[in-house]
Structure 1
Amino acid sequence: MYQAFYGLREMPFSLTPNTEFMVRLPGHQECLNLLLVALEQGEGFIKISGEVGTGKTLLCRALLNSLDAERFQLAYVPNPCLTPEGLRRAVARELRLVEADSLGEIALLEAINQKLIELAHAGRSCVLLIDEAQALPDDTLEALRLLTNLETERSKLLQVVLFGQPELDDVLGQERFRQLRQRITFSYRLKQLEGEQIERYLNHRLSVAGYNGPALFERAALRLLAQGTRGVPRLINIVAHKALMVGFGKGQRRIPRSFVQRALDDTEGVQGPANAQPRWPWGVAAGLVVALTLWQAPALLNWLQPWLPTVANAEQGGGDESGQ
């Protein structure tokens, strides 16, 4: 789309959780460091929470890439909407138990236990990462706790990291989960970005995407972007992408406040008066349509040709009526 216009190799603000674009901001780096240290120490349960769009999945992917595969056996469950049996079978598949789908429940649990013991004897720890953990059904969450009962005299056989939205705290706050709460030895709450962190975030992603030039976003544009998105990385990506689209459509590389305003007008979930009244439908796309029209003018005229005589006749008829 606009990569060549801005001198980019790839799209800088894609919503795909690509760890190459992860910005090592203090909060995210601190959280990653905590995870690495806690897992090295063999802690049982770790909980990472944060609002929608604050980078939990990206952090989960970064953790997967950071752990030593020789030291840790990793099991990743991205969709936790499972029954207790479904969770156990998902864990068994991640542990590469080829007979997982054919075993009965008791035999399956015994096979998981045996595999974990084998890993422990080989000096490896098993880490289960669960994304979107707030979606775990209550019975499945209890089954997860029972899985962590598997242990030797010296260490837990299974370590669990829960990544979830703040609703996860509400779930764990239930009386029935008091035993599980006591097993959470470390927890961390991801926060939104603030001030200069947003500018650093934008510049880092642009640089990774190949941009090498002066700052694209004006100061006033950055302030409005911070206000409208509340520092939520996912919203920052959406609005910044749309602002670049507007700049491309207008043939202007520098992004002023007005381009960010137009992007905010076209985006759900932003706050404040910036999103109160869109100036027109398809606001962000309008500038892009202008650029594409100039580029594809002959093809567009051919497409419009069937309607042109009708429009002309209508105008001519209107002129005759006014002449009367």
Structure 2
Amino acid sequence: MIDLVIDQRRKDLGGFEVGRVLPFARRRMVGPFVFFDHMGPVDFQPGFPRSVDVRPHPHIGLSTVTYLFDGAITHRDSTGVTQDIHPGEVNWMTAGSGITHSERFETLRDEGGSMHGIQAWVALPAELEETAPAFANHGPDDLPTYEGGGLWARLIVGKAFGAEAKVATHSPMFYVHWRLDAGAQAELPAEYPERAAYVAQGQVEAEGRIWQAGQMLVFAPGQPVLFKAVTPAIMMLLGGEPLGPRFIEWNFVSSSKERIEQAKADWRAGRMKLPDADHDEWIPLPEPAPPANPMS
């Protein structure tokens, strides 16, 4: 049963658009997933400005999960890692007690090409929110795949469909990439109490209705869900065990509002280390908007 439908909200990040899905006013999390952005698709011409890049910024209390359909991103962080990510790979960055990183489009700036992918955040269990920051890149050999009946599937993170990805996680979850030919059918089992499916491309049918690219379907627990592709389609399946409520402000996630205030103060005061290879600029902490003048 579909419990909620969330339509992406398009946002301009200063050179390309993303479709923001989570968090949503009526659904802040699905399992441990607290944030879900659909990046692109966008075609870049060689030599586009550096202002499109995501400058160094901080995180606490979460893991970021970057997965691409097309393009390339150069990741740099305060643990000393510089890593390019390509389609079919996973960049898993655990912020824990605090990390800073940037995401640059250097390959695309040199060569041009398409950029298309998903940026997700996964909350850490409360007892692990202050774990040491870390980063890992996983190639396709670490991510189980399946093909048959017009379905191609890759398990990106966690356990599902009898398989397990070789990505170290901190709580029970699943994250799956499906490609379906037109007319193909596939079922999402009722394995986890919180589940959602995002249509990244094409159209699919579920529960007697047709769903479009840019829509996330959030399901009630307890029943499997059957999908049929109306057109060739790309879907992302996600969810897991709930972790309890989280505060989310800017790039910070925590079970403690006081901890977020401390992180804001640390970033404002320059107490969080920047990436060694990318320390000449950063994103300032957004300040609250001043109250409106009732006489204006």
TM-score (norm: length of structure 1): 0.22
Q: Which has the higher helix share?
A: 1
Larger radius of gyration: 1
Q: Which has the higher strand share?
A: 2
